[in-house]
Amino acid sequence: MKAFLQRMNIPPAHYEVLLGKAEECLAGCREVAHDGTVIFRPDGSGHYNGMWTRDFCYMVEGAGQLMDRDEALAAIDYLLAAQREDGVIPDRVQGDGLAVYCAGPVDDPIGAIPPTDNAPFMVKTVAAYTKLTRDYDAFLDRRAALYKAMATVPLTHDRLVSVDPNRPHASYGFTDCVAKTGNVFFSTMLYWEACQTLAKLCADCEYHDEAHDWYEQAEKTWQRIDDFWDDSYGMYKAASEHGRQIDLWGSAYACVVRVASKKHATRIAGYFLDLMDECLLHGHLRHLPAGQYWRRMLVDVPEDTYQNGGFWSVPSGWLIQTLNLEDPDAAQQIVADLVEEFDAHGVHEWINREQRHLPGYVASITNVLGAVQSSKKLA
């Protein structure tokens, strides 16, 4: 398993701002559930009711060192306790214990089929907790549930994650309003990453046959990952059918997890450097290049807002790490822009030129924090 890109070293003053904002957002998102478990909502304002699997994953991955370890493990088990009999991981579990498996409102789900990303995110969450605590029993005690979850991911025979064009539904949850169909890139990367992660955890625990099986699954997916590559742009496409558009978030993440080859990563970084002013606002990144919008939506989202043209900092850490490969000064400028924005206006789910939406959105800061480290640690 290739090591993911290293965190980028940033000035201590910038790191302290990011750290403080992460602590603030994490404190604000805590809620005591019906059974006494502390759960972590996506935001501190209470807009999102419950604990979302992917958002919680980004909290543990990016800022697990700021969380109480017993609370984090209990929150993992709060999600796993709601795993369906067929293995499906919930999209979220509310404070009252209601498990919700599809994206969107409880009474009006988006697509009526669970998103394709929750099983990999559950694996990634347990792995992040295990890496932080070195508590391998936490993985071993839950690995059967994780294996069962991974078996529910909809795959082609080539081990690419797919969404039926005739039954469109959410794939990667941060684009759950978007109809991406056929083979879908971001969820395929997450599946590959989860297979690699399970393989490494099994190897560390000396379950070598299981490790081999997961490495083999990952290899099959990796062999076809370049099906999404568009050589004319030097970027990855979001999907093979609906949503066959440049995926800014996915291309940056591909560099971080090293799905992208060194050659591809160089081209991706170059694409961002050439078009940075068009793709970024105060260090926040669009899903698509400037002036472009998703061609098919599952939910009506006005242009230049939310998932259809809003600017997000959830992927900004991946962009920082990617640009650091080719132009460290440009990467540092994005950090400076983010710090200025967060310090002056707080942390939001997304922004555009007229508004800032939903304060206290936790993944917006934890994903940035997880991509950097203070340069004073080198002294």
The pLDDT of residue 357 is 97
Confidence at residue 277, expressed as pLDDT on a 0 to 100 scale: 87
What's the average model confidence in pLDDT over 77-102?
98
Residue 264 domain-assigned? yes
Tell me the residue range of the domain where 280 lies: 8-378
Q: Is residue 250 part of a domain?
A: yes
Q: What confidence category does residue 274 fall into, taking pLDDT thresholds of 50, 70 and 90?
A: very high
* % of the chain at pLDDT higher than 70: 99
Question: Is residue 2 domain-resident?
Answer: no
pTM > 0.95: yes or no: yes
Reported as a single tens digit per residue, the pLDDT across 52-72 is 999 999 999 999 999 999 999
For the domain that residue 354 is a member of, what is the CATH number? 1.50.10.10
Q: Tell me the per-residue pLDDT of 22-34, one tens digit each, with 9 for 90 and over.
A: 999 999 999 999 9
What local confidence, expressed as pLDDT, does residue 1 receive? 67
End-to-end CA distance of the chain: 30
> Given pLDDT bands bounded at 50, 70 and 90, which one contains residue 92?
very high
Which pLDDT value is given to residue 379?
A: 44
Q: How far is CA 11 from CA 77, 201, 290, 375, in A?
A: 37, 33, 30, 6
Contact 173, 103 (CB under 8 A): yes
The predicted-structure confidence for 223-259, as pLDDT tens digits, reads as follows 999 999 999 999 999 999 999 999 999 999 999 999 9
Please tell me the total count of domains within the chain: 1
Handedness of CA 45, 50, 53, 59 (dihedral sign): positive
* pLDDT exceeds 70 at position 73: yes
pLDDT at 376 over 90: no
Share of the chain above pLDDT 90, in %: 96
Residue 1 lies in a domain: no
306 found inside a domain: yes
With a cut of 80, say whether residue 352 has pLDDT above it. yes
Task: Give me the pLDDT at residue 340, please.
Answer: 98
| Structural contact between residues 180 and 238, judged by C-beta atoms closer than 8 angstroms | yes
Q: Confirm whether 23 is domain-assigned.
A: yes
Residue 3 lies in a domain: no
Q: pLDDT tier at 377 (50, 70, 90 boundaries)? A: low
- Kindly provide the residue ranges of all beta strands, DSSP E only, lying in the chain, ordered along the sequence: 8-10, 30-32, 38-40, 51-52, 92-93, 99-100, 162-163, 182-183, 229-230, 235-236, 280-281, 284-285, 348-351, 356-359, 372-374
Average pLDDT over all residues of the chain:
96
On whether residue 189 sits in a domain, the answer given is yes
Condensed to tens digits (0 to 9), the pLDDT of residues 151-206 reads 999 999 999 999 999 999 999 999 999 999 999 999 999 999 999 999 999 999 99
